[in-house]
Amino acid sequence: MNRRIIFAVIGIILSLIPAGVSLTAFQSNADKPNIILVMADDQGWGDTGYNGHPFVQTPALDAMAKSGLVFDRFYAAAPVCSPTRASVLTGRTPMRTKVTNHGRYMRPHEQTIAETLKSAGYVTGIFGKFHLGSGQPDSPCNPAGAGFDEWVVGLNFFDNDPYLSRNGKVEHREGKGSVILMDDALAFLKQHKDGDRPMF
């Protein structure tokens, strides 16, 4: 199928998420694909091997790009992390989500792609820097409130021996924060890759 058509269909689906439209209207008998969304702070378009960086080597991302779908016209909604994360999850601009700067919690009533996919039968997980709310179990603004079944999040990803919130339980972990989070994400992928539910 032509990439332009695929992007148009995905764009239409994502534009309907804020209106509360369920993906069930778009489902067919085809298998639901697993979806892996990789989001990095301060990473430019050319900072990967598959986009021709002269010395940065990203073999895992290059392999994913070769065998999957790459959004090559996917721009940040804001120059800081929280508004961009809210926009990616909701399909709405920072002004609409009211997340216009660092330290702003996403409102609990915002419909996210995780909630929409979860209602379509997906198991959902997020690992790393959420930066849209609290990691506390009783907060309506934690990742569970945004539709994630499993989560391990922290304020930063570069801390050594970090304090991380795993599904609302704060854990003091030993090691490099980014490695710990990647190991947790890989464990989630391995656990669900052959399951009866697709994953996001």
pLDDT at 84 over 80: yes
Give the residue with greater pLDDT, 24 vs 94. Answer: 94
The pLDDT confidence band at residue 18, using thresholds 50, 70 and 90, is: very low
User: For the chain, how long is the longest CA-to-CA vector?
Assistant: 47
Report pLDDT for 19: 42
Report pLDDT for 3: 47
In whole angstroms, give the CA distance from residue 69 to residue 6.
9
125-129 and 150-154: which strand pairing? parallel
Per-residue pLDDT of 104-151, as tens digits, reads: 899 999 999 999 999 999 999 999 989 898 888 888 889 999 999 999
Range in 15-29, 81-95, 143-157 the model is least confident about: 15-29
Report pLDDT for 15: 44
The pLDDT confidence band at residue 30, using thresholds 50, 70 and 90, is: low
pLDDT at 46 over 90: no
Please give the radius of gyration of the chain, using alpha carbons only, rounded to the nearest integer: 17
In whole angstroms, give the CA distance from residue 82 to residue 145.
16
The pLDDT confidence band at residue 157, using thresholds 50, 70 and 90, is: low
In order of their start, the domains of the chain are 3-192 (3.40.720.10)
Percentage of the chain exceeding pLDDT 90: 53
Structure tokens at 162: 């970090």
Range 21-29 contact pairs with CB under 8 angstroms and sequence separation of 24 or more: 22/116, 22/119, 22/120, 23/116, 23/117, 23/119, 23/120, 24/119, 24/120, 27/120
Report pLDDT for 21: 39
Give me the chain's average pLDDT, please: 83
Report pLDDT for 156: 64
Task: Decide if 94 contacts 77 (C-beta within 8 A).
Answer: yes
Q: Give the residue numbers marked as catalytic.
A: 81, 131
pLDDT at 51 over 50: yes
Report pLDDT for 70: 82
pLDDT at 42 over 80: no
